[in-house]
């Protein structure tokens, strides 16, 4: 169970990935600044702790865009550890800013870093990740290797595959060599399971996933398939007014598409209550419903 912290507050990113579940990037940039100041995030986190919620297994720094764009990253990690000394802190990143020594230094304070590397083929990288023009693929590769050399924590490398884009033999061979150099703690090979930012992006087959997992030495498939994430932590909403539940659901699906079951688990309420709240939100046009690979997803 992960408690997620949004370090951007908007869809601000170095990439505009085809598959992004947060939606189309609104500000494509490499400019680093305190988009959401550490004090604001830590004050909210302290209030959440004081409210007596059940503790999460991990606090995860991420958000609607690339969290390493926030120059307060190091202070947020330190403050989170002070508030939750017994809970590991993780950072989700698309790896694009690892060439920056300041970013690498800040990330070293995290217990777990989950960087992405979808492809090492330049043409696939441009089509799939749609990066800000100044971000070169070789620099990202080098930045991750430099980070590995200085970091003592766990690295879970994620590779997301899209059909007909980066599921090539060339990419698999290059990724295999890169993983030998990086020596990550774990490699998670995944594919789309929620609606992405752009039409036309589609999941690869199970056979392709298995082939990449076998070659890259990923963990057991049951633990590496994404798409069943339950949300950002229990909020003990049972018994509260349905209006509050609807507001929580609307805020959650505005960040990423989710299923009824995923919302129920993440908000710690019966799925029947979630279904009723979603029906009301659909009637007012506050959310929309769209089919995914195996289920229906709701988004803002």
Q: Are the C-beta atoms of residues 9 and 36 closer than 8 Å to each other? A: yes
| pLDDT of the chain, 300 residues: tens digit per residue | 899 999 999 999 999 999 998 889 999 999 999 999 999 999 999 999 999 999 999 999 998 999 999 999 999 999 999 999 999 999 999 999 999 999 999 999 999 999 999 999 999 999 999 999 999 999 999 999 999 999 988 999 999 999 999 999 999 999 999 999 999 999 999 998 888 888 888 999 999 999 999 999 843 333 333 333 322 222 222 233 467 888 889 988 988 899 998 898 888 888 878 887 888 888 788 898 888 877 889 998
Q: Burial of 30 by CB count in 10 Å (0-12 exposed, 13-18 middle, 19+ buried)?
A: middle
CATH 1.10.10.10 fits 242-299, yes or no: yes
DSSP of 156-209: EEEEEEBTTTT-SHHHHHHHHHHHHHH--SEEEEEE--S--SSTT--BPPHHHH
pLDDT of residue 231: 28
pLDDT of residue 230: 28
How far apart, in whole angstroms, are the C-alpha atoms of residue 22 and residue 43?
25
CB atoms within 10 A of CB 135: 19
- Dihedral of CA 36/40/41/42: which sign? positive
pLDDT of residue 3: 96
CATH level 3 topology of 2-224:
TIM Barrel (3.20.20)
Q: How far is CA 282 from CA 25, 246, 260, 300, in A?
A: 25, 11, 13, 10
Dihedral angle of Cα 169, 171, 176, 180, to the nearest 10 degrees: 160
In terms of phi and psi (left: phi > 0; alpha: psi -120 to 50; beta: otherwise), the region of 197 is alpha
Instruction: For residue 33, give the DSSP letter.
Output: B
Summarize pLDDT for 165-196 with one digit per residue, the tens. Answer: 999 999 999 999 999 999 999 999 999 888 88
> Domain spans of the chain?
2-224, 242-299
Residues in the chain: 300
In terms of Cα–Cα distance, which of 225, 197, 162 is closest to 21? 197
In terms of Cα–Cα distance, which of 195, 137, 144, 132 is closest to 166? 137
Q: Are strands 186-191 and 154-161 parallel, antiparallel or unpaired?
A: parallel
Q: Are strands 12-13 and 58-62 parallel, antiparallel or unpaired?
A: unpaired
Please tell me whether residue 295 adopts helix, strand or coil conformation: coil
Dihedral angle of Cα 126, 128, 133, 134, to the nearest 10 degrees: -90
Q: In this structure, what token pair is assigned to residue 145?
A: 């290797």
Which H helix or E strand runs over 10?
none
Torsions phi, psi for 172 (to 5 deg): -60, -45
pLDDT of residue 242: 66
Q: How far is CA 47 from CA 67, 83, 267, in A?
A: 22, 11, 18
């Amino acid at each position: 169970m992960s408690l997620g912290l949004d370090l951007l507050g908007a869809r601000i990113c170095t990439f505009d990935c085809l598959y992004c579940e947060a939606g189309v990037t609104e500000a494509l940039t490499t400019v680093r600044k305190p988009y959401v100041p550490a004090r604001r995030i830590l004050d909210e986190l302290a209030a959440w702790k004081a409210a007596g919620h059940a503790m999460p297994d991990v606090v995860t720094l991420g958000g609607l865009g690339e969290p390493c764009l926030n120059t307060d990253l190091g202070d947020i990690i330190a403050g989170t550890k002070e508030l939750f000394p017994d809970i590991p802190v993780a950072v989700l990143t698309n790896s694009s800013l690892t060439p920056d020594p300041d970013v690498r230094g800040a990330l070293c304070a995290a217990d777990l870093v989950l960087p992405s590397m979808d492809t090492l083929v330049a043409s696939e990288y441009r089509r799939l990740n749609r990066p800000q023009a100044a971000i070169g693929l070789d620099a990202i590769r080098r930045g991750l290797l430099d980070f590995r050399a200085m970091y003592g924590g766990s690295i879970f490398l994620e590779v997301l595959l899209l059909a007909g884009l980066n599921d090539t033999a060339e990419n698999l061979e290059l990724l295999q060599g890169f993983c030998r150099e990086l020596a990550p703690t774990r490699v998670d090979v995944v594919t789309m399971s929620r609606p992405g930012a752009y039409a036309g992006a589609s999941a690869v087959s199970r056979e392709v996933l298995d082939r990449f997992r076998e070659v890259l030495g990923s963990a057991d498939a049951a633990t590496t398939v994404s798409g069943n994430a339950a949300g950002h932590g229990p909020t003990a909403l049972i018994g509260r007014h349905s209006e509050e539940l609807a507001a929580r659901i609307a805020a959650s699906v505005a960040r990423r598409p989710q299923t009824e079951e995923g919302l129920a688990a993440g908000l710690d309420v019966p799925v029947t209550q979630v279904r009723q709240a979603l029906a009301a939100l659909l009637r007012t046009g506050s959310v929309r419903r769209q089919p995914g690979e195996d289920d229906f997803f709701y988004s803002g």
